[in-house]
Amino acid sequence: MNKTILLLLVILQLATTPSQAQTTARPAGAQTTAILGAYGEEITLLLNAVENKKEIVIDHLHFTEGTLNGRKVVVALTGIGKVNAAITTTLVIDHFHPAEVLFSGIAGGVDPALSPGDLVIGNRLAYHDFGTLTDDSLKPDATRDPATTKKNPQYFPCNDTLVNIAENVSRHLALEKPIEGRPAPRIVTGAIVTGDVFVTSRSATRRFWQDMQAEATDMEGAAVAQTCWQQGVPFIVIRSLSDAADGEAEKDIARFYRAAAHNAAMLVIAITGELAHKR
């Protein structure tokens, strides 16, 4: 009889305990900003500006806590690609409970009006390589939340407050010109599309521009966005263009990588300063 009662109590407890995905709430008053990037140079620029550094290793990945522009931050390198980005984002959310996640780095330009060094403030992220592959094309589709099995939005919306902050502080930035004599880098707000491929195809970028209304393409952003969206954490992705994602992309990225990484990092640093001031 005692065993039967104990078993019933266990079953009742399991039945009334929400799933992990449902209970992933941020602690009240969390005041840490997580900053992620895929490449070493992208993160090095930010780490050089962090004060009072403390390094923590979790599952062989390195996370650096400290203060950036008056804001408490944790900075980490995700590595390249969607899976790496999702893993690191999950770890930073679970272990540091950030109030928001900022992703900084370079990207390929999709909007034909943009040039290397220009900044894209992401206001929504989507995958360009998730969907249905036919003989003629790949039709992008939405992912599903494994906790609910319901479809996610195809475009994960960045946090409106973070987008507004990024737009406001960007007006006062002194950005680096990748090519002397060219106009100052432009700053636009729009969609960024993500896939596990380095794009060097003009036909692909034309499709991203015409069919998905994207400004840029990267290899991590939507994975970070999906992870944050499903965990209920505000996020934004900041990208500066290193190339036009066309046949010259490999040459261009070597020429413009540093300037692009610098411009993205400068905007992220400015955002953290505004977060420190407002909160």
User: Annotated active-site positions, please?
Assistant: 42, 243
User: What amino acid is encoded at 237 in this protein?
Assistant: V
Beta carbons within 8 Å of 268's beta carbon, 6+ residues apart: 35, 46, 102, 104, 238
Give the Cα-Cα-Cα angle 153, 80, 170 (nearest 5 degrees): 65
- Which segments of 20-175 are extended strands (E)? 33-37, 51-58, 61-68, 71-77, 100-109, 119-127, 131-133, 138-140, 156-157
Nearest to 37 by CA among 197, 239, 195, 200: 239
Instruction: Give the CA radius of gyration of the chain.
Output: 20
How many whole angstroms separate alpha carbon 234 and alpha carbon 255? 33
CB neighbourhood size of 23 (10 A): 8
